[in-house]
A = this chain, B = another copy of it.
Amino acid sequence: MDIFEKIKAERPIVHSITNKVTMNDCANIILALKASAIMAMDASEVAEVTSVSKALCINIGTPDINSAEAMVNAGKKANELGIPVLLDPVGAGISQLRKDILKKLMNEVKISVIRGNYSEIKAVVEGTKATIDADLKDKINENNIEECVAFAKKASLITGAVVAITGETDIITDGQTAYCVHNGHEMMKYVTGAGCMTSAATSAFMAVSDDMLKAALYGVCSMGICGEIAMERMKPGCGNATYRNYIIDAAFNLTNEQFERMAKYETR
């Protein structure tokens, strides 16, 4: 049974403590992949909700004190029960609140996968007090790919998590193996929550997999592929709202056969 069929067969619950802006789209992308979505956010109940889940997705896009506490509570419960945890450090470094939340999360919760853009991943690493000498541009492309891969591997070793840096090219690494993914479409940057949805989708794969590197690869590649498929359906007059719907639609119809045919990645 391939991983897409496995999600359909098991319908795992994915608990997301997520961004208020994009939570509806995140729930629908999880459902599109045939997993179940639950989005409890209050510190007083999240541990119980995590307990019945198969993956936990933490997104700090619209943080407050209560949700920060909720993230730690849910994360600790996930660790206790061996449930994988994804961290999406949206806007990491933009405020002291986000720095504090990330520091707390990195200190108190074992994270399985971290997915963000280059500057967000950098801010996460800095929160661990480790140092990475790097001053890369946010745009990962063919010109700086070697340097970015080296950065990603170091970030993975420091954090102990699979690191997925998304950009023009995406890099996914467990510190040893690194995949460079060339799927996606630049139209995706005009959809709010394209990154959040990538994290949500990745969580769905994590919920049925023991291999976090593979789950992250499938999550990131799948979203890129959906971005490409969605683009093919666009007609004159269509814009980013229709495109958002088409991305989720594509996830709904995505099969392993399609994935294997369209996935574009190489190992570095």
Contacts and interface: CB of A to CB of B under 8 A. Distances in A.
Given A20-B20, A237-B233, A242-B249, A97 B64 contact: no
A191 B36 CA distance: 10
A2 to B, nearest CB: 19
A95 B124 CA distance: 31
How many copies of this chain does the complex contain? 3
A256 interface: no
A178 B63 CA distance: 41
A37 interface: yes
A244 interface: yes
Contacts of A189: 31
Interface in A188-225: 189-193
Given A49-B95, A244-B241, A40 B24 contact: no
Given A39-B21, A44-B65, A64-B41, A190 B241 contact: no
A263 interface: no
Contacts of A63: 40, 42, 45
Interface size class of A (residues with CB under 8 A): 35 or more
Interface string A238-254: 11111011111111110
A42 B64 contact: yes
Contacts of A233: 237
Contact of A96 (B25, B45, B65, B229): B45
Interface string A47-60: 01100100000000
A24 B22 contact: yes
A246 B245 CA distance: 12
Contacts of A62: 39-42
A144 interface: no
A118 B246 CA distance: 33
A20 B41 contact: yes
Given A44-B97, A45-B98, A246-B241, A32 B91 contact: no
23 contacts: A20-B39, A21-B24, A21-B27, A22-B24, A24-B193, A31-B190, A38-B91, A39-B62, A40-B91, A44-B96, A45-B94, A45-B95, A45-B97, A45-B98, A48-B95, A49-B94, A233-B237, A237-B246, A239-B248, A239-B251, A241-B244, A241-B249, A241-B252
Report, nearest first, the 8 A-B pairs whose CB atoms are least far apart: A239-B252, A239-B249, A241-B248, A45-B95, A27-B192, A241-B245, A45-B97, A42-B64
Interface of A: 20-25, 27-28, 31-32, 34, 37-42, 44-45, 48-49, 52, 61-66, 91, 94-98, 189-193, 229, 233, 237-242, 244-253
